[in-house]
Chain A
Amino acid sequence: MLEIKDLHASVEGKEILKGLNLNVKAGEIHAVMGPNGAGKSTLANIIAGKEEYEVTAGGILLDGEDIEELAAEERAHKGVFLSFQYPVEIPGVTVTNFMKTAINETRKAQGLEEMPAKDMLKKIREKSELLEIDRKFLSRSLNEGFSGGEKKRNEIFQMAMMEPKLAILDETDSGLDIDALRIVANGVNRLKSENNAIVVITHYQRLLDHIVPDYVHVLYDGKIVKSGSKELALELEEKGYDWIKEEINA
């Protein structure tokens, strides 16, 4: 589903990704781990289509199609979703109306009719229950005054609403207490199917206790330097990243 080939990318002239390869098939969960500054968030933002990053070599294919030239919204229309590390506060737009607009704009782009209001409400109700979100929360301004945990839960609620083909979760566990972590992970697991794929980007292993990956990759200095099964995550948790650095630099 997602094929990243020899991706080089820079921001403001500084090269951050230096030949990254990643292959994700439908039905799989991949974890990308790595120390701070390795390029994890850059990878997430580049897949979602943030414009500040310049791809200097290599490419990103979604279902075989090069998406590099597509705008962020076009990628979303094709089923790419990014759960933000730092969700943006947007005063004046409620969660519900943001989702209505997002879904209907996506449907329009896909040549579909707007979703009938009744179906929309039903969907919102179902998905907010899945994430144990209070109804009152939905009529608040998007992310405004939300706690860190509420913001992350709201991101996964949006994921549930958008039903993406490919979801990138960027540091979704940061700011979550243990109960919220369980709720969020449970939500993600329920959304998982044979037809979609999830890339979990994280510094720590603890989210992977709940969202169990098929593959774990270590991102270091702009490249995937090691890949393995979920046991690799445990090893990283135990030993930290230094041994990887030593291995690379040796």
Chain B
Amino acid sequence: MELKDKLVSSFLAFENTINVDAPVHDIRSQAIKVFEEKGFPTKKEEAWKYTSLNAILKHDYSIFPKEENALEFKDVKKYFLYDLDTYKIVFIDGKYSSHLSETTHDKIDVCLMSSALSHEKYKPIVDNYFNKIARQDGLTSLNTAFSKEGAYIYIPKNKLADKPVQIIHFSTGKESAQMLQPRNLIVVEENSHVQIIERHQSLTDNPVLTNSVTEIFVDKRAIVDYYKIQNDNQTASLIDNTYIEQQGQSVASVHTFAFGGNLTRNNLNFFQKGEGIDSILNGVTIIEGKQHVDHNTLVHHQEPNCESHQDYKGIFDEKATGVFNGKIIVDKEAQKTNAFQSNNNILLSDKATINSKPQLEIFADDVKCSHGCTIGQLDDNALFYMKSRGIGEKEARALLMYAFANNVLESVKIPQLKTRINKLIANKLGVDIGFDL
């Protein structure tokens, strides 16, 4: 049976596991119809021209985890940012692991989507925000239909989350191929602040396909910093759909570190609903082998006097392929918009590919919009210069690549996270030099 048919027919079985009387269930029922109609995207769609899901949709994924799998912290410690005190929302094969998690209901809520969807206390927030900005496309609708578990973060107004939140999804692959559909809802009210680190980690060679949807609401003057670490193994694929709505004078940043995985697609969408907003989209992609990473961004400027800053760096080796498709829409009302976009790439091999496509749709007349894209190689003169100072070939190349990505790395606000990412890069490049630039 095709995956699409299997998913549609699984919906009935899914309904047996949840409360079908909850209001969100109408949303789910509606969503499965949309998925049934639209299905998975194909390369015929402009937004999917360079990314084909065909190969990863061929596996016979299990849709629901059959058993609860446990993990010991010591075995998965390295995937945590363990040298930093954080809240943790951890899932194993899509099921919540209380053992590895640390949640809170003290002034702020850092807990589970399943609780939020089933407890009366959360109903006003869920009614207000759940599925309000998620796009009604096939993939997002599929996630909505099966939405049950994920992270729920609610920061009421005038509150600072006292420590960052880590959201980690492990897949153990004890059941052959597995599909996961985490659903996160993050609501940050006026003047509040939270930092979130998200990671998907497969612990198996069995195929894993994650179709994740995250909705983030950033109210007036609130600040949200979101970091995505994508350093998964070769059989894990991720489709990340993130939707962010910002109100006046808020600042939201998303950093995406794409260092590995089979196929990774990031659909990152920002909607600006007030004045004086700043949206920041940064990314570093370093991949090799036959890995594929596709960044598909949208910033929709709808009000005057807002800014957006996009800076994506990509380094592609061997037969890796990258896509950057950055769309900026400036509505007629959004005068005095400053929108910047830059996408710089280095190809280390003749067989590596990057498709970079800026898309600007500007309907206002008093705006500053710029975009730039470069594709190049490592500079031989710079390599010789470094080598002549005693720095070995591998280290010199690594240092140049690190320097290339440095301004994005520098914008990471959590020092322990910055150190960790530097180490991930050093490991990836096979060098042992301290990148404390």
Binding site for B on A (CB under 8 A): 48-51, 71-73, 75-77, 80-82, 84, 87-94, 97-98, 101-106, 109, 141, 158, 162
Cβ contacts under 8 Å, B381 to chain A: 88
- Measured between C-beta atoms, what is the minimum distance from B403 to chain A in Å? 3
Query: Bound complex: CA of A206 vs CA of B357, how far in Å?
Result: 53
A49 pairs with B436, CB closer than 8 A: no
Which of A76, A88, A92, A141 is in CB contact (< 8 Å) with B390?
A: A76
Is B404 close to A, CB under 8 A? yes
B389 pairs with A158, CB closer than 8 A: yes
Is B388 close to A, CB under 8 A? yes
B403 pairs with A72, CB closer than 8 A: no
Is B395 close to A, CB under 8 A? yes
**Provided the pairs A88-B379, A93-B399 are in contact, do residues A51 and B390 lie with their beta carbons within 8 angstroms?**
no
B389 pairs with A76, CB closer than 8 A: yes
A84 pairs with B385, CB closer than 8 A: yes
Cβ contacts under 8 Å, A87 to chain B: 385
**Provided the pairs A90-B400, A92-B407, A101-B399 are in contact, do residues A109 and B390 lie with their beta carbons within 8 angstroms?**
yes
Query: Interface size of B by Cβ–Cβ distance < 8 Å?
Result: 26
Cβ contacts under 8 Å, A104 to chain B: 433
Binding site for A on B (CB under 8 A): 379, 381-382, 384-393, 395-396, 399-400, 402-407, 433, 436-437
Cβ contacts under 8 Å, A98 to chain B: 386, 389
Query: Bound complex: CA of A162 vs CA of B390, how far in Å?
Result: 9
A92 pairs with B437, CB closer than 8 A: yes
- Measured between C-beta atoms, what is the minimum distance from B396 to chain A in Å? 8
**Provided the pairs A72-B384, A97-B436, A101-B399 are in contact, do residues A92 and B404 lie with their beta carbons within 8 angstroms?**
yes
- Measured between C-beta atoms, what is the minimum distance from B391 to chain A in Å? 5
Known: A92-B402, A101-B399. 9 other contacts (CB 8 A): A48-B384, A73-B392, A73-B393, A84-B388, A89-B382, A90-B382, A98-B386, A101-B395, A105-B390
Cβ contacts under 8 Å, B391 to chain A: 73, 101-102, 105
A77 pairs with B390, CB closer than 8 A: yes
Query: Bound complex: CA of A92 vs CA of B386, how far in Å?
Result: 14
- 18 cross-chain CB contacts under 8 A: A48-B388, A71-B387, A72-B387, A73-B387, A73-B388, A84-B388, A88-B381, A88-B385, A91-B403, A92-B402, A92-B403, A94-B437, A98-B386, A104-B433, A105-B392, A105-B433, A106-B390, A162-B390
- Measured between C-beta atoms, what is the minimum distance from B99 to chain A in Å? 40
Query: Bound complex: CA of A109 vs CA of B328, how far in Å?
Result: 50
Cβ contacts under 8 Å, B384 to chain A: 48, 50-51, 72, 88
Query: Bound complex: CA of A2 vs CA of B131, how far in Å?
Result: 74
- Measured between C-beta atoms, what is the minimum distance from B282 to chain A in Å? 15
A93 pairs with B403, CB closer than 8 A: yes
Query: Bound complex: CA of A98 vs CA of B273, how far in Å?
Result: 45
Query: Bound complex: CA of A91 vs CA of B407, how far in Å?
Result: 10
Count CB-based A-B contacts (< 8 Å). Answer: 83
Cβ contacts under 8 Å, B389 to chain A: 73, 76, 98, 102, 106, 158, 162
Query: Bound complex: CA of A105 vs CA of B436, how far in Å?
Result: 15
B392 pairs with A90, CB closer than 8 A: no
Which of B379, B390, B404 is in CB contact (< 8 Å) with A73?
A: B390
Which of A49, A71, A97, A102 is in CB contact (< 8 Å) with B437?
A: A97
- Measured between C-beta atoms, what is the minimum distance from A179 to chain B in Å? 26
Counting chain A CB atoms within 10 Å of each CB, the highest count among B386, B390, B392, B395 belongs to B390
Query: Bound complex: CA of A49 vs CA of B391, how far in Å?
Result: 13
Cβ contacts under 8 Å, A48 to chain B: 384, 388
Cβ contacts under 8 Å, A50 to chain B: 384
Cβ contacts under 8 Å, A51 to chain B: 384
**Provided the pairs A90-B400, A94-B437 are in contact, do residues A72 and B382 lie with their beta carbons within 8 angstroms?**
no
Cβ contacts under 8 Å, B403 to chain A: 90-93, 141
Cβ contacts under 8 Å, B399 to chain A: 93, 101
Q: Which residue of A lies closest to B437 (CB)?
A: A97
Closest 8 CB pairs of A and B: A92-B403, A106-B390, A76-B390, A72-B387, A92-B406, A102-B389, A88-B385, A73-B387
Q: Which residue of B lies closest to A103 (CB)?
A: B390
Query: Bound complex: CA of A76 vs CA of B386, how far in Å?
Result: 10
Query: Bound complex: CA of A102 vs CA of B399, how far in Å?
Result: 11
- Measured between C-beta atoms, what is the minimum distance from B325 to chain A in Å? 26
Cβ contacts under 8 Å, B407 to chain A: 92
Query: Bound complex: CA of A92 vs CA of B344, how far in Å?
Result: 14
A71 pairs with B393, CB closer than 8 A: yes
Cβ contacts under 8 Å, B379 to chain A: 88
Query: Bound complex: CA of A49 vs CA of B390, how far in Å?
Result: 11
Query: Bound complex: CA of A24 vs CA of B19, how far in Å?
Result: 88
B388 pairs with A76, CB closer than 8 A: yes
Query: Bound complex: CA of A84 vs CA of B404, how far in Å?
Result: 22
A90 pairs with B390, CB closer than 8 A: no
Query: Bound complex: CA of A105 vs CA of B386, how far in Å?
Result: 11
Q: Which residue of B lies closest to A94 (CB)?
A: B437
- Measured between C-beta atoms, what is the minimum distance from B143 to chain A in Å? 38
Query: Bound complex: CA of A80 vs CA of B437, how far in Å?
Result: 26
Q: Which residue of B lies closest to A102 (CB)?
A: B389
- Measured between C-beta atoms, what is the minimum distance from B113 to chain A in Å? 40
- Measured between C-beta atoms, what is the minimum distance from A82 to chain B in Å? 5
- Measured between C-beta atoms, what is the minimum distance from B213 to chain A in Å? 35
Cβ contacts under 8 Å, B385 to chain A: 84, 87-88, 90
A101 pairs with B433, CB closer than 8 A: yes
Counting chain A CB atoms within 10 Å of each CB, the highest count among B388, B391, B392 belongs to B388
Counting chain A CB atoms within 10 Å of each CB, the highest count among B392, B393, B406, B433 belongs to B392
Which of B388, B392, B393, B437 is in CB contact (< 8 Å) with A93?
A: B437
- Measured between C-beta atoms, what is the minimum distance from A60 to chain B in Å? 15
Cβ contacts under 8 Å, B396 to chain A: 73
B388 pairs with A82, CB closer than 8 A: yes
Q: Which residue of A lies closest to B395 (CB)?
A: A105
